[in-house]
Structure 1
Amino acid sequence: MTFDPAQRFVRLVAAGNGVIYAIQADGSLRWYRHAGWTSGGTGWANGVGREIGTDWHIFRAVLAGSAGQLYTVSGDGTLRWWQYDLADPDGGSGDGTWHTASGAVIHDGFGDYPRVLGGYDDVLYGVKSDGSLWWLRYEAGDGSSGPESWAFGGQAQQIGTGFHRFPQLVAAPSGVIMGAEIAGVLSWWRYLAGDGTNGAGAWARGGIRADVGTGWATESLRTWTMGADGEIYAVALDTSPTPDLDHVLRWYRLLNYLTVDQGGVTANWAAPAGGVPVGQGFTVEETAALQGYPMRQCVGPGETLEVAVSTSFDSYDTRIRRLVPSPQVVRRVATTVPGPGPQILPPGYRSTGCGYPVAVSALVRDSWTSGVYDVELIGPQDLRRHAVFVVRPSQPHQDLLVVVPTYTYNAYNYWGGHDQYSDGQAGVRRTLTFLRPSTATEVDPTGAVSHLLQSDLALLRWMSEEGVGYDCVSDAEVHVEGLELLRPYRGVVLSTHPEYLSDSMRAAFVDYTLGGGRLVYTGGNGLYERVVPSADGTALTFRRADGARDILSEDGRPESDVLGVDFAPDGFLTFAGYRVTDADHPFLAGTGVSNGAVFGTYSTNIAASGWETDRVPDGGMAVVFAEGTQPFGAQMCRFDHPGGGWTFAAASLCFNGALQNDEVCAAILRNALAAAVG
């Protein structure tokens, strides 16, 4: 089958001794061996790869051991065991045979784990949505199933917490785990116990991470995978002003990967910081087997929803769902849709669009309540992809309007490898299309912290469960319609991270508050940077002509003019609760807290004050009634505008993640929303 050279593979899996399993978007499983794996040489035993299997694109996760073992996780949570026995384990070009039990289902409970890692030593780790880390070990090693085949009868054992802070995690033999934080810091752990227990001494350094490198975020690397002896393979981004394909495979090796903690924290890398180029043609896009995007970010009743799709599957199922308070199917477009086949990306696709054909269309009905929706694309074995869109009302139906921050989603969407933050493209503006699949609109829990759609869904879910009515629009509607869109609403809600906005959006928010409107700002780092939407609304241009960030405060238009607070960069990636500073404030009514009380110590994003926080500028007039306990913590406040309007600011990216579990946070927002519509 033909594959797109811009997204040939959906996954690379290192397996030790230089072996790399590469899964093509058409399902071909290809075996490679890097002959120079110990030193970073450029030799390969089989440079074009040997096909050893088919239909491997149906799995949501693939893990490998160092003796031919492979573990696959399907979308329905089933775990399968495979073993590829090489004719020449120490050399050769991949000739071998599959164990007769290969493909056997050995467990059916992996749906509990959005992320699964491991494979070495037959140990598998699962990360739950709350960041807890769970350990399982397959002891049979022959494809058999049942409790006797597993340690602890196949019951997972919790061995850690807090791993949702690391969006990228891999595992190596002997209990080594490596993870990259949002900012790209590479961390090391070693689980010494190796038996599913978590007592004293179970972890090196008592479980405290050791930082061993930088530059490992998605802004620098497309993907990375770890072998069995400290070697790491990563696909680097093309950093030219107009990026070409991201396809160069780089080799790194942490020589002391087992002993980072000995003699203090040391990281003995065999390669320079940027790694050593050892291969080409390794383009990777995880969703390339099945992916799609809406042709418009927001549609209303009577309009036609259209979703463009590319897939290498013969067919797939589709359904349209409203996502909160829980996913509810509003229409099944078709039981089975013929696959249009994999589409080849045109030149300039990151800016002008992927050009995929429209495969799903539906008339938006009056009965579709305004909110956030998706078209769910369902492939074999319950492999799921999502195309997210907003349904706006035909006219205002509620007192509150939620502005879904689709411009921010676009800024952080690194599908295709590049976004507003990716390395390179020095000295130029960046234009990013909406007409591409999105990594920023994850519908299902990911097992990682989220400042994008996942967190916004938590807010909308809480509002729905509280019985708070709301309409929804995307950023684009505010850009085009301005104050006339906002004026009918008693309150406007800005969610987790409304960072990006156009000039006309900012003007609308200013005029709305000056005219008596109420803003309820539940996030952090809001109204910070300007974008320029294209005339047809299908793309955004970021940055100034010289490639510098286009920050509004540098033009004399700080966010505090509207929100009462400005972004405080020194608080980046710190997390804490809030401390009450004015217990008599009306927004604290009914909480029972007193000055000095601490709340919000738990959030799905670690703690309620954190990640990115805002503070009242010197001389600012906002009234602060709670403040993050960490240095440069969020200053929760109310800011009154001339003309009777006001803004409530939670001033933190992590606030919405605390609403379901912290009654004080919930009560504050309940009071703010009631005041907004009162």
Structure 2
Amino acid sequence: MLIGYVSDENYLALAGVSVEFARDGDIVAQAASTASGAIVADLQPGEYRLTLAMPGFGAKHLTATLPAEQPLQLRLLSDTLTGFMWPKWVRSGEAAELRVHSVAPYRAELFRYGQRKEPVELLGWFDEHGPRAMAQILPDEDFSQTGVQFNTVGFTSPGHVRRLAGPQRSGLYYMHVHNERGEFFSFPWVVAPAAPREPIAVLAATNNWNAYNRFGGRSNYINEAGLPPTPTVNARQDLARYRIGNSATQTADNDVYPPLSFERPEPDCFVDRDVEVTDPMTGRLASSLAPGLWRLLAWLEREGFEYDLYSDAQVRNGELDLDAYRVLLTEMHPEYWYAEEYDAVRDWVERRGGRLMYLGGNGADCQVEHVDASRGRYLTRQPDRDRPEEAHLESRFHRTHEPQARLLGVAFTHAGEGTAAPYRVLDADHWAFAGTGLRNGDLFGTHSMHERVPGGASGHETDKRTPNTPPGFVVLAQGTNPDNGGAEVVYRNLPGSGGEVYSVGSMTYIASLLVDEGVSALTRNVLNDFAGRAPRAAD
């Protein structure tokens, strides 16, 4: 009888897991999982207590009626240190819970990440009397949809669970955790102000962080339509992304995609203990997730700009009062927006004079549907060019919404993808270049901390004007990427409302802010003007 399959937190098949079957208090059978993670045993129908164990993973018990209608999906959590704050975003004074998985006693300390890593609060050491008492237990089945549910099994004593209030100062906070085994892990926490305090708001792309989070075996890029019946043995052979191509897997109707839970650790937002803000941005994803946001915030503080930080969810639910701010800044890769979020920002700019600085690339490209406080559905079906109602769409941000170029002036295209290069000045007489010393034809953005796609401030994924770009956008500079794939830096003033938009269209732009004077000077000029800190120079 096929009982089911056993896999780890990333839905990788586990071979050699010992499985014990008990009934009425007696052990009636034993088995070991096969190379595919399959568990096979000769059992009579009925209810059994299963015990699973494997070195390097947490053992667990569960009860199941066998045979089940479908093979069981059994999940074991590796002994690797991990964790997150829940909720992952709060306002100052609101409480969040520390959720950590550690097989050894651990120490937790809160830091604020700005121009420096500033220690905020030592939470102390965490342990209990039992062995491995701080280890968590994974739910079985597809918890990428439901969340990992840390702190829900056996954690009933207040001493087990630590809740803390969001600090008074808004910003990006990181929890540092290390344990007696010598492991270290860190994870972000977005703290918005209880009420607006500064003239500048910064938007943390928390929807994007979740879209790329594969903890549980699913993200918006692998197994996006749900976990397959059997766990992964070899990604290149088993995952549809590699067998038939990613674009082929994202063509079903959006409604078939299950939600992705925010209530999961985010390993790719990790920042090592000794990393400083001006160090190279290592790894594949860190540069476009929370560690990338850190570089923007550090630059703002270095230049003397005070700001309030918010998550995507806090725009959607109205906690970010846009009318209380002069300027809204995005980070490196704000790809996934709620419909309500997009509408709010567009209306603020076009009707009420808001000033938007889009400092990333491939932004507002896909829509997220709010499911509940811990889940979102990612609507990433490609538009069908043969359908008249979709033929005008230059991106995947569609269904009920307009092409993002109507707000941002630019939209992602594949030209130049995976390359990086400096920008070339095209309109040095524009007020944005005043005092920079840059002239038409000059290059800037030659220095970058981006290691995944090194080469310059225009890169990785780049945006350009499209047929949907409204009149009034002027091009200040363009990346020198091959195949005419350079990002376009554009500016627009909306005479009716007084709103303004500055877009750079590049995922590597922020990686140059701290190390390239041309990028820094241009951005400083625009932000000084938008924030009302300096009079505008004449064109």
Q: TM-score, normalised by structure 2?
A: 0.70
- Distance in 2, Cα, partners of 1:611 & 1:420: 19
Q: How does 1:344-363 map to 2 (within 5 A)?
A: 344-357=138-151, 359-363=160-164
**For residues 505 and 533 of structure 1, what CA distance do their matches in structure 2 show?**
11
Verify the 8 A CA contact 1:430 1:543 in the aligned structure 2.
no
Moved more, 287-296 or 574-583: 287-296
Please give the per-residue CA displacement for 1:191-247, whole angstroms capped at 9, x wherever unaligned.
xxxxxxxxxxxxxxxxxxxxxxxxxxxxxxxxxxxxxxxxxxxxxxxxxxx9996xx
What root-mean-square deviation, in Å, do the aligned CA atoms of Structure 1 and Structure 2 show?
A: 3.4
CA distance in 2, matches of 1:476, 1:405: 9
Q: For residue 361 of structure 2, what is the aligned residue in structure 1?
A: 524
- Equivalents in 2 of 1:348, 1:55: separation in Å? 21
SS state of the match for residue 458, structure 1? helix
| Structure 2 match to 1:612 | 461
Conserved 8 A contact 1:406-1:474: yes
Where does residue 436 of structure 1 map in the other structure? 264
Superposition map of 1:558-569 within 5 A: 558-569=403-414
* 9 and 624 in structure 1: CA distance in 2 versus 1, 3 angstrom threshold: closer
2:519 aligns to what SS in structure 1? helix
Match of 1:400? 200
Q: Give the match's secondary structure for 1:570.
A: coil
State the 1:346 CA deviation: 3.2
Residue of structure 2 in register with 1:308 after alignment = 99
- The residue identity in structure 1 corresponding to 2:429 is D
Write the distance in 2 (CA, Å) between the matches of 1:578 and 1:545: 32
| Stretch moving more, 439-448 or 321-330 | 439-448
Asked if 1:458 corresponds to 2:295, the answer is yes
Output the CA distance in 2 between the equivalents of 1:624 and 1:672. Answer: 14
State how far apart, in whole Å, the 1-side matches of 2:161 and 2:303 are. Answer: 34
How many Å apart are 1:563 and its aligned residue? 1.0
User: Residue 416 and residue 309 in structure 1: after superposition, are their counterparts in 2 closer, same or farther (change >3 A)?
Assistant: same
Distance 1:544 1:301 in 2: 33
Shift of 1:448: 2.1
CA gap 1:443/1:307 in 2 versus in 1, 3 angstroms = same
Shift of 1:434: 0.7
CA distance in 2 between counterparts of 1:372 and 1:342 reads 26
Q: Distance in 1 between matches of 2:309 and 2:98?
A: 20
Hey, what does 1:7 align to over in structure 2? 8
Contact 1:583 1:625 in 2 (8 A): yes
Q: SS in structure 1 opposite 2:317? A: helix
Measure, in 2, the Cα distance between the counterparts of 1:602 and 1:588.
Answer: 18
Q: Corresponding residue for 2:331?
A: 495
Shift of residue 408, structure 1, vs aligned partner: 0.6
Give SS of 1:638's match: strand
Alpha-carbon distance, 1:423 to partner: 4.8
Out of 212, 216, 221, the residue aligned to residue 421 of structure 1 is 221
Match of 1:510 in 2: 346
SS in structure 2 at match of 1:307: strand
TM-score, with length taken from structure 1 = 0.57
Shift of 1:390: 0.7
Give the equivalent residue in structure 2 for 1:226: none
- The answer to whether the 8 Å contact 2:166/2:191 transfers is no
**Alignment partner of 2:485 out of 614, 621, 632:** 632
Q: Against the structure 1 CA distance between its residues 417 and 56, is the aligned structure 2 distance closer, same or farther, given a 3 Å change threshold? A: closer
Over 3 Å counting, the alpha-carbon distance change for 1:462 and 1:337 in structure 2 is farther
Confirm or deny that 1:576 pairs with 2:427: no
Distance 1:328 1:244, change over 3 A: farther
Q: How do residues 131-146 of structure 1 correspond to structure 2 at under 5 angstroms?
A: none
CA distance in 2, matches of 1:591, 1:409: 34
Matches of 1:346 and 1:667, distance apart in 2: 52
How many angstroms apart in 2 are the aligned matches of 1:646 and 1:360? 46
Range with greater deviation from structure 2 (539-548 or 588-597): 539-548
Contact 2:136/2:150, CA 8 A, preserved across alignment: no
Residue deviations 1:89-113, cap 9 Å, x none? xxxxxxxxxxxxxxxxxxxxxxxxx
Rounded Cα–Cα distance in structure 1 between residues aligned with 2:501 and 2:258: 32
Q: Which residue of 1 aligns with 2:23?
A: none
2:191 aligns with one of 391, 411, 431: 391
Provide closer, same or farther for how the CA distance between residues 624 and 5 of structure 1 changes in structure 2, counting only shifts above 3 A.
same
Residue ranges of structure 2 left out of the alignment (5+ in a row) = 19-34, 37-53, 59-69, 153-159, 226-248, 276-280, 385-392, 533-539
Structural mapping, 1:61-460, within 5 Å: 288-313=79-104, 315-338=105-128, 339-357=133-151, 359-364=160-165, 368-380=168-180, 382-423=182-223, 425=225, 427=252, 428-444=256-272, 447-449=282-284, 450-460=287-297
Counterpart secondary structure, 1:340: coil
1:8 to 1:478, Cα distance in 2 relative to 1, 3 A: closer
> Deviation of residue 372 (structure 1)?
0.8
Can you list the C-alpha shifts for 1:114-155, whole angstroms capped at 9, x where unaligned?
xxxxxxxxxxxxxxxxxxxxxxxxxxxxxxxxxxxxxxxxxx
Q: Is the 8 A contact 2:57 2:79 kept in 1?
A: no
Distance 1:11 1:544 in 2: 25
- Can you give the 5+ residue segments of structure 1 that lack an aligned partner in the other structure? 13-19, 25-41, 44-52, 58-241, 246-280
Partner of 2:45: none
On the 8 A contact 2:126/2:134 being kept in 1, the answer is no
Q: Which residue is 1:590 aligned to?
A: 435
Preserved contact between residue 531 and residue 540 of structure 1 (Cα < 8 Å): yes
Judged with a 3 Å threshold, the aligned counterparts in structure 2 of structure 1 residues 345 and 11 are, in CA distance, closer, same or farther, namely closer
Deviations 1:445-470 (A, max 9, x none): 56225211121111111111111100
CA shift, 1:620, in A, is 4.0
1:543 matches 2:418: no
Question: Structure 1 residues 490 and 546 mapped into 2: Cα distance closer, same or farther (>3 Å)?
Answer: closer
Secondary structure, aligned partner of 1:333: strand
The count of aligned residue pairs is 417
Deviations 1:267-313 (A, max 9, x none): xxxxxxxxxxxxxx9x897x742221222121123221212222222
- Once the two structures are superposed, residues 43-101 of structure 1 have per-residue CA deviations (whole angstroms, 9 ceiling, x without a partner) of 9xxxxxxxxx98899xxxxxxxxxxxxxxxxxxxxxxxxxxxxxxxxxxxxxxxxxxxx
